Amino acid sequence: NFILRDNSGGGILKPKVFVKMPGKKVVGGIAVAVMVLLIVFGISKIIGGINHNARSLPEKLFAMSWEERSELSEDDIKDMLKESGTLYDMQTEGSVNAFTTKTTESFMKGDCLFMTVPDVFEGIYAVRYETEEDFKEGRKLIESTLEKQLIKKMDAFESTSEGVQARYYPVGVSDKYLDRYLDQADLSAGIDTFDGVSDLYGDMDEDDDGIIDADRIREIKDQYSIYKFVYVVYGTAYELGLSADGGVSFPSDKSYTDQVCIIGTLYIPACEESIISMFASQYNYDAISGETMDINKFKESVDNRIVDALLDEYAGDDSESRREWEKTFYSRLYMMENHKFDMISKVYIKSEDEKRLWYVRNFNWDTNTDAPIDLSAYRNSGDIYCAAECNYNSDTAEYFESELDRALYLADKDYKADTGESFGGTDEKRLWFMQNYSYDTSSGKAIDKEVVDALIAYQKYIDDNYSYAIYEGNIGDGWCISLLYINEDNIPELLISSDVLASGNQLCIYSNGSVHDTYFRAGGGLSYFEKRNLIHVSSGWGGEYTDEVCKIEDSELKTVNFGLFSDYYEEDGGYTGEYSYSWNDAECSEEDYKNALDAAFYNAIDGLDPIDVRLGYTGIKKANILYAYDALRTTIYETYEYCIYEYELKDGILTVKADNGVNKSSSFGEQTAFEFSCPVADECVWEGGNGFGEYRSESTYPMTPEEIEVEIKNWRNQYDLTPDYMESPVAIQFHIIDDQIVGVYTSTP
């Protein structure tokens, strides 16, 4: 049974969504804008008033419960059509077949041609009568039957689409087999549907294509039921596409009146509150008390100033528009005053304080003072006022659970929770949340307070010392910054490096609230083991070269092993090519030198390979620590495209598997095999061009995931057929941050 919620003492509910139906499509020529292929399907036992002992096929289908109908396969429908001797045509749209009958059967005391769609459990019925008396009796039977089936406290309503008026009867509701509905909605996605009831859908949930968003409903399916509406349309054969010169043709050996009846069923997943809101907003019908709203009488009890200001704002001097908006505003007020029901968020308000806030955000009206409220300091937004001053979320009609939730809500409206100022951009907002809430808006995750303090301190260090030197430009031109995990803690170290051999480099270590910097020269590069506190710095010029193995101790970079080798210089100029070697100030052979370096660094940690940093080239060419922080969090998979033997993007998940390319041309070197399966970020970059990352030239261009997939498969096919003859293969990178793919880049030769 359908039971409307009594709001007395009822708790506040989270808002629920309601699914929108997309545009019209004619199916089988049965009717323009009325006979259509629906993708929804339905519920419960339906129409009474039919002789169930001797039912025709359309009557059987029409009277089936949702449980019975959902079990019918396409083959079952074919068998039923064959058993009844009904001739039919079959039309296919996508993966869905529709059966349209060519011979009539009895239905509602008339002759019926019908369409049934097994995959989406739908049927639409065109009924004609031989005499005017028969038509009147049939119409009376249809209407009386449907009136008896109306859900308690619901009423029939009318809606017009393209000049065709339909009457809708809410006749059933069921909470069974919602998953079957959603599975079929997935199967039928993309099929256009009848929108003659577009007024039903005010704030409903749909995806970007306007199709039922089954995944969204699954998230909160316990809040949903399936409502059944039966729509009835009367008109002439010509108006409804049943004339002899087109559309569906009734038998020519019979004489029919020109009046035709079209009957269809519409099954909609919705929450109870959505149905209530729809009736109130579109038809001024109070489905909670089961009566039509007496708006004129209600207006006498309301201060007209509440509505007048909004009418001026929304409608101006347009009298027709003012009448429509006035109807909307007063129906909202009616449901709030009589039932504490918010038609916008579709929830019941549970307290007088929340009711006051409802007036503030919807009407700029303060019920405490019975006067308009000044919202100038809140961007003239009642939503911002409620959040900033009362910790109240207007979207969910609930109080915020945390200060962070409130700040995020306000930030979406470009309003700083502490000052009310605007944000200067995405980077400023991100840093502000890091500083104030230890929260990274980029990843949507909490971040360690010490890490935040370090990032802010590093940014200040860069601003004070290097802002003039680090600028956007070609990598290797001047300076760049990197964040590295060198010692054992979770606070990264800042590396500021130059590609110029004689230039110094800075390693900045954050500790005890301060940045401690160490200057070093490293023309040959820097290598380290992540979070193992072991660094190798190589450098050299003028025939003298060094290898230093260092550790971070007491917030300083300290040398623990030092190697030196130098070429002998002859008096007449030039070098002899004969080197002398020393390790920790003790002379040694070249072999002993290499063994000592291996023991002190390269072989010091079993099972790990060091990370190499090409100073002045590996890093970010922006004086912004956030870019370096994102680079630190990024995992990059790189290979030649022919090494990829599996590449699939499905349901937002990209799966990639790459081998090591052992059979390829030897000139390219063996690749690292890898595999991953990760969701793709909404803002993922798909790009082709020359080089990777900061090395990319300006000749980059966007690509689609499909184009990249084709490119990968083409290279793989070439590789499998003639690996030894491949030249200049295209390479590819996949960038992953926080288990999401944020960038896919190809590099052309």
* Model confidence pLDDT, tens digit, residues 90-143: 888 777 788 889 999 999 999 999 988 877 767 789 999 999 999 999 999 999
pLDDT recorded at residue 501: 56
Beta bridge partners of 286: 291
Task: Decide if pLDDT at 205 tops 50.
Answer: no
Determine the Cα–Cα distance for residues 541 and 566; give it in Å rounded to an integer: 10
513-518, long-range: CB < 8 A, 24+ apart = 513/453, 513/457, 514/457, 514/555, 515/457, 515/458, 515/460, 515/461, 516/555, 516/556, 517/461, 518/556, 518/557
Q: What is the mean pLDDT of the chain?
A: 81
Give me the amino acid identity at 181.
Y
* CA–CA dist 31, 166 (Å, integer): 13
Whether the CB-CB separation of 626 and 456 falls below 8 Å is answered with no
Tens of pLDDT, residues 540-589: 777 788 999 999 999 999 999 999 998 876 666 667 778 899 999 999 99
* pLDDT beyond 80 at 20: no
Q: Which position has the higher pLDDT, 54 or 608?
A: 608
**What pTM, to 2 d.p., does this model score?**
0.66
**pLDDT at site 106:** 92
pLDDT at 139: 94
pLDDT of the residue at 224: 85
Can you give the pLDDT at residue 194?
A: 31
pLDDT digits (tens, 9 = 90+) for 346-393: 889 889 999 999 999 999 999 999 999 999 999 999 999 999 999 999
Percent of the chain at pLDDT exceeding 70: 81
* pLDDT at residue 747 in the model: 85
Amino acid 216: pLDDT:
72
Q: How far apart are CA 637 and CA 647, in angstroms?
A: 14
The 3-state DSSP class for residue 159 equals strand
Q: Taking residues 19-23, what's their average pLDDT?
A: 28
Q: What is each CA distance from 76 to 41, 68, 105, 240, 574, in whole angstroms?
A: 17, 12, 18, 30, 95
Mean pLDDT for 213-233 is 81
Lowest mean pLDDT among 7-21, 124-138, 232-246: 7-21
Going through 512-619 in order, the beta strands assigned E by DSSP cover 514-520, 525-529, 534-541, 544-553, 556-569, 575-583, 586-588, 611-613
pLDDT band for position 265 (cuts 50, 70, 90)? confident
CA 19 to CA 226: how far, in whole Å?
A: 11
Residue 232 burial (CB count, 10 A)? 21
The larger pLDDT score, comparing residue 542 to residue 12, is at: 542
Percentage of residues in the chain having pLDDT higher than 90: 45
- Residue 671's pLDDT is what? 80
Exposed / middle / buried, residue 154 (Cβ in 10 Å: 0-12, 13-18, 19+):
buried
Q: What is the pLDDT of residue 195?
A: 33
- Stretch 722-732: mean pLDDT: 76
Q: Which of 66-70, 79-83, 153-157, 378-382 has the lowest mean pLDDT?
A: 66-70
Q: CA 522 to CA 534: how far, in whole Å?
A: 16
Task: Give pLDDT, residue 369.
Answer: 92
- Rounded to whole angstroms, the Cα distance separating 631 from 622 reads 12
698 pLDDT above the threshold of 80: no
Q: Is the pLDDT of residue 86 over 80?
A: yes
Whose tokens are 């908006």? That residue is: 325
pLDDT class of 47 with cuts at 50, 70, 90: very low
pLDDT category, 50, cuts 50, 70, 90? very low
User: Is 477 or 492 the better-scoring residue by pLDDT?
Assistant: 492
Q: Report CA Rg, the chain.
A: 36
- 245 pLDDT exceeds 90? no
pLDDT on residue 573: 65
Query: Which residues have CB under 8 Å from 167's CB, separation 6+?
Result: 156, 157, 158, 231, 232, 233
Phi, psi at 155, each rounded to 5°: -140, 160
Return the half-sphere exposure (C-beta side, CA atoms, 13 A cut-off) of residue 463.
Answer: 8
Distance CA(358)–CA(365), nearest Å, equals 9
Distance CA 381, CA 383 (A): 5
Q: What is the pLDDT of residue 646?
A: 93
pLDDT of residue 65: 74
pLDDT at 476 over 80: no
Residues 516, 509: contact at Cβ < 8 Å? yes
Which of 569-573, 734-738, 744-748 is least confident? 569-573
Tens of pLDDT, residues 57-70: 988 888 777 777 77
Q: Is 377 exposed, middle or buried (0-12, 13-18, 19+ CB in 10 A)?
A: exposed
In degrees and rounded to multiples of 5, residue 339 shows phi and psi of -135, 0
Please give the residue that has the higher pLDDT: either 423 or 395: 423
What local confidence, expressed as pLDDT, does residue 694 receive?
Answer: 53
